[in-house]
Amino acid sequence: MRIVLLGAPGSGKGTQAALLVEKLAVPHISTGVLLRQAVKDQTPLGLQAKATMDAGELVSDDLMLNLIEERLSQDDVASGFVLDGYPRNLAQAEALTEMLQRLEKPIEEAIQIDVDGESIIQRIAKRAQEEGRSDDTEDVVRRRLEIYQQQTAPVVGYYADQGVLTRVLGEGSIDEVFARIVGVLEMAVR
Ligand code: B4P
């Protein structure tokens, strides 16, 4: 299946995507992970993206489109994929639809993970202590949430209009949220 996971920073997209790809045996494509690896490897992309990520802003649509097109052209996506962190604004959503139409691999399910702001702050504060990610500081998280509201939240409506969106409650334990997502996918394949 070709699935997009949507949700605010800290909603559990990355966490749930990792569980889903194990269950479905398809690749996990996380633009956040790809970018952090590029920064670590000091590739030209990583060198360009680092300051933007550290400020909590979105990396440019052009850079992201190249990154995602390159990844989605690889052979391992033939059986499907779980996309996590892309698209993050309407321009990216439209570019993705156009690219996947060309590749004859349209999105089949978009799942929005809904979590309230207070849980998000607590989860990211915990991750900041555990992992020390450079964009998990309080000020940067606040900025990431603003950007989410302004630019990423409208993507939910975009997939609703395409008739592929389901919303899932992201509160509760990781296993509880996962069971809800699996329930949605089981309904979708019937
Ligand atoms: P991402 O890596 O996508 O960062 P994120 O939104 O914080 O999500 P993540 O997947 O890491 O966290 P999750 O909610 O799973 O992006 C980082 C940056 O890269 C962006 O700010 C931007 O600069 C850039 N970028 C990425 N994609 C881009 C694009 N398309 N265009 C432009 N720029 C882009 O989990 C958060 C924490 O909550 C975890 O510690 C987890 O353990 C915990 N958690 C999860 N579920 C839980 C639960 N049920 N209960 C308790 N804790 C839970």
Binned at pLDDT 50, 70 and 90, residue 189 comes out as confident
| Partners of 7 in the β-ladder | 113
Q: pLDDT tens-digit profile of 149-160?
A: 999 999 999 999
Q: Is the pLDDT of residue 180 over 80?
A: yes
Residue 89 gets which letter from DSSP? S
pLDDT of 190 reads 59
Cα distances (angstroms) measured from residue 85 to each of 5, 17, 126, 131, 187: 7, 10, 20, 19, 24
Higher pLDDT, 187 or 24: 24
Average pLDDT over residues 65-90: 96
Count Cβ neighbours within 10 Å for each residue of 93-129 and write b for 16 or more, e otherwise. Answer: bebbbeeeeeeeeebebbbbbebeeebbeebbeeebe
Q: Which residues are catalytic?
A: 13, 88, 127, 133, 144
Q: Is the pLDDT of residue 167 over 90?
A: yes
Q: pLDDT tens-digit profile of 1-32?
A: 999 999 999 999 999 999 999 999 999 999 99
For residues 150 and 133, give the distance between their C-alpha atoms in angstroms, rounded to a whole number: 23
Residues with CB under 6 A from ligand 1: 9-15, 31-32, 35, 52-53, 56, 58-59, 64, 85-86, 88, 92, 123, 127, 135, 144, 173-174, 177
Q: Which of 4, 35, 52 to mutate to test the pocket of ligand 1 (most atoms within 8 A of CB)?
A: 35
